[in-house]
Amino acid sequence: MVPISLAGCSLLPPCRLPLSRKVPLCVREAGGQEHLGGGWGCPAPRAGMVPPGKKPAGEASNSNKKCKRYFNEHWKEEFTWLDFDYERKLMFCLECRQALVRNKHGKAENAFTVGTDNFQRHALLRHVTSGAHRQALAINRGQPTFEGQAEGAGAYPGLATTLTSRGVKVEVDPAKVAVLTTVYCMAKEDMPDDRCSALLELQRFNLCQALLGTEHGDYYSPRRVKDMQVAIASVLHTEACQRLKASPYVGLVLDETRDWPESHSLALFASSVSPCDGQPATTFLGSVELQEGEPTAGQLLDILQAFGVSAPKLAWLSSSLPSDRLGSVGPQLQAACPLLTELHCLPSRTDPQPPAYLGEYESVLDALFRLHGGPSSHMVPELRTALDLAAIDLAGPRPVPWASLLPVVEAVAEAWPCLVSALEASAPVSPTARALALALRQFTFVAFTHLLLDALPSVQKLALVLQSEEPDLALLQPLVMAAAVSLQAQRGSGGARLQGFLRELASSSPDSGGGRCTYRGVELVGYSEAAVRCLERLRGAFLDSMRRGLRDSYPGPSLDVVAAFAAIFDPRRYPQAPAELGAHGEGPLRVLLRAFAPAVVRQRALGDFALFKRVVCSLGRLGPRALCAKLVCAHSELHELFPDFAALAALALALPAGAGLLDKVGRSRELLWWGQGGAGEGRGAPAVKIAVDGPPLHEFDFALAAEFLESGWGEGLLGSRLT
């Protein structure tokens, strides 16, 4: 096995707590006068809100008569932490001011807390990369400061030494930051590395002040883009280790990124929850190439151990690999991880043995959409609309699961007569169109399309629930059960769309032994009694395959656990009557206590449950994620009052599902498939890490990346993990 690529963790956004209006802080203006409060308690007017009799912000200059400068309103869009006092004509940093209030010893004090009239973008860039600003962000997020990390480094003593070796208030040359931000944005947008020189030259041409000075050393040469990517990815890796180590529980996600007979690769993700604010997050750990066909539990546990995650913390396993590819990994992990529950919520997870005709059907649709579904297609616009609805990129390298996309199947069924006519018109000059026209006129093709129209809607509802930002767990079990019942009913008597199609054919062709048969004005090919019998066998095999896929992805015990989480942690589903509230949730709580026995004290949880429900009801009708976040937050009263329910809430938040996970999985699929099985030359592991897991530009610590680059520490950290 090639060692794992890389890992990282996106940073949490700054905590925007309201500043108190009663803090009597004394601030000093640039002119030397002191006064109380002013802009501390009362927020300054926002953009466009100019106090009466005052000049607009663009006309507020500093006091330097030799070089008159003005505050630029657009700076607020670029630097979200920037605030401007229109009356005193001073700039402030909201993050640093808030940290100064929260951090009583005042280590966050700097020019942007007392106010500055240095109206230069260069000054803003210098501040955003300063150690004081970074420390303020850490304080506002509730994360330990760098000094605190040095004291309690624990498993990462070398890391703590590196972070504090130069102090946290080291100023970084803006020219270095400008080059690093360019490399960062190139990786985020998947731009080739050789474009770096051109982009830097473009910025100089546009008079980027940070790049107009002298040269800034060989470290920041465009020839060293790979090294800068490693340094940036090292910062993300550092954050990943801290985040996963702090999370009470973790979920592991395996996504197949390559499907060749001789080998395949996996992209690994981890779901976690922050004990500081109770917010869940998904971290891209990297990709690993498996030479022997399937992963082993020992390999996966070793990877997690490298990030500070021990086996007892692994609570969830989700995978896009079908059961035959996953092999014995699930049982092996369950033997080593007492809390582990399998729930496979990723798309494209299918039964390992689908009917053979499914591949033939999807190949026909693939050729059809590539021929007439592109942006230049005018004859069949329904295909282009279906691609947009299903968010399909025909230029992507990954095979498209056409038969599982309801908008695609609906578009083909609706436009079928027009498609056949258009293809036959192009047949004299296009052999491909001639072959497609014949394939679309086949009885089996049209019948299978109607079969999909019956089978896909129930499964589509399930997929839509899992695509939301906060999936409603209470709907998961009913939807899975409804889909299974629907498929079973279609297995017995056939779906309404398919049966209606067959009845229409029977009425239009009394002699099905070989006579002509038309459907919607188009003559079908291959319709006979033998073809109908073959269709019945195909229908049974396909529906059985879908039912196996449902059972494989959503095991019954796992659905019981998810339903129990919804019953306990969704106050909106609590009964209103006090008499009914007492008995509510007793059964679901016992399900959770059995499933996660090592994480809770059973008798204490049972004894606390009645009080827990009354307290939750007193908080109002919170959503499940909001309630769980309050419980998980280590400094909350709920966390201290109900430790067992806090543990269960952390387990619920660590469940890998939702739009955040799907977005990162989709991005990694796009990048890794291009690199391994597509036509592109591929992106290095650090670039993929940045593209998938990199936070917004203003949240990234470029000063630390510069330190890693110049010290070479990032190479030592990542050298054994990069492929």
pLDDT at 598 over 90: yes
CB 129 within 8 A of CB 184: no
- Residue bearing tokens 């990297």: 286
* Helix, strand, coil abundance in the chain, percent, nearest 5: 55, 10, 35
Residue 280 banded pLDDT, cuts 50, 70, 90 = very high
User: What single string gives the DSSP state of each residue in 180-229?
Assistant: HHHHHHHHHTT--GGGHHHHHHHHHHTT-GGGSSS---GGGSGGGHHHHH
CB 433 within 8 A of CB 427: yes
pLDDT, residue 353, reads 74
Tokens of 206: 């546009």
Strand partners, 391: none
> How high does pLDDT run on average in the chain?
78
Tokens of 190: 């998947």
- Per-residue pLDDT, averaged over 13-19, amounts to 35
CA distance between the termini of the chain: 11
Q: How far out from the chain centre does Cα 560 lie?
A: 25
Q: How far apart are CA 488 and CA 498, in angstroms?
A: 15
pLDDT at 536 over 70: yes
SS3 at position 680:
coil
Q: What percent of the chain has pLDDT over 90?
A: 32
Q: What is the largest CA-CA distance in the chain?
A: 102
pLDDT, residue 246, reads 92
Which H or E element spans position 364?
helix 356-372
CB 554 within 8 A of CB 562: no
pLDDT, residue 263, reads 52
Report the alpha-carbon angle 448-454-456, nearest 5: 95
**What 8-state DSSP symbol labels residue 61?**
B
* Lowest-pLDDT range of 108-112, 182-186, 301-305, 387-391: 108-112
Alpha helices in 129-173 (DSSP H): 131-141, 146-151, 157-164
Residue 374 Ramachandran class (φ > 0 left, ψ -120 to 50 alpha, else beta): beta
pLDDT, residue 75, reads 85
pLDDT tens string 664-715: 998 888 887 655 444 334 567 899 999 999 998 888 988 889 888 888 755 5
* Lowest-pLDDT range of 254-263, 312-321, 390-399, 497-506: 254-263
Residue 569 banded pLDDT, cuts 50, 70, 90 = very high
Residue 499 banded pLDDT, cuts 50, 70, 90 = very high
pLDDT, residue 414, reads 92
Which H or E element spans position 155?
none
Residue 145 banded pLDDT, cuts 50, 70, 90 = very low
pLDDT, residue 673, reads 66
* Position 174, amino acid: P
Rg (CA), the chain: 30
Q: How far is CA 675 from CA 325, 396, 667, 669, 694, in A?
A: 22, 12, 13, 10, 19
**What 8-state DSSP symbol labels residue 573?**
G
pLDDT at 42 over 80: no
Q: Is 669 exposed, middle or buried (0-12, 13-18, 19+ CB in 10 A)?
A: buried
- Per-residue pLDDT, averaged over 605-623, amounts to 90
Q: How many CA atoms lie within 13 A of 697 on its CB side?
A: 17
- Per-residue pLDDT, averaged over 62-88, amounts to 74
Residue 609 banded pLDDT, cuts 50, 70, 90 = very high
Report the alpha-carbon angle 100-103-109, nearest 5: 35
Q: How far apart are CA 638 and CA 647, in angstroms?
A: 11
Q: Which of 612, 687, 696, 618 is nearest to 191 (CA)?
A: 687
The residue ranking higher by pLDDT, 389 or 657, is 657
**Beta strands 250-256 and 264-273: pairing type?**
antiparallel
* 3-class SS string, 268-324: EEEEEECCCCCCEEEEEEEEEEECCCCCCHHHHHHHHHHCCCCHHHEEEEEECCCHH
CB 236 within 8 A of CB 246: no
**What 8-state DSSP symbol labels residue 679?**
S
pLDDT at 152 over 70: no
pLDDT, residue 76, reads 85
SS3 at position 153:
coil
Q: How many CA atoms lie within 13 A of 408 on its CB side?
A: 22
Q: Is 376 exposed, middle or buried (0-12, 13-18, 19+ CB in 10 A)?
A: exposed
**What 8-state DSSP symbol labels residue 248?**
S
pLDDT, residue 568, reads 94
Residue 634 banded pLDDT, cuts 50, 70, 90 = confident
**What 8-state DSSP symbol labels residue 18?**
P
pLDDT tens string 368-408: 888 876 555 455 788 888 888 888 877 766 778 888 899 99
* Position 566, amino acid: A
Residue 497 banded pLDDT, cuts 50, 70, 90 = very high
- Per-residue pLDDT, averaged over 154-176, amounts to 44
pLDDT, residue 684, reads 73
pLDDT, residue 409, reads 93
Q: How far apart are CA 484 and CA 479, in angstroms?
A: 9
pLDDT tens string 78-98: 788 899 888 888 898 988 888
Q: How far apart are CA 230 and CA 326, in angstroms?
A: 31
pLDDT at 512 over 60: no
pLDDT, residue 60, reads 45
pLDDT at 35 over 50: no
Supply the pTM of this predicted model: 0.72
- Per-residue pLDDT, averaged over 184-197, amounts to 89
pLDDT at 107 over 70: no
pLDDT, residue 351, reads 65
Q: How far out from the chain centre does Cα 562 lie?
A: 21
Q: How far apart are CA 361 and CA 380, in angstroms?
A: 20
Q: How far apart are CA 257 and CA 320, in angstroms?
A: 10
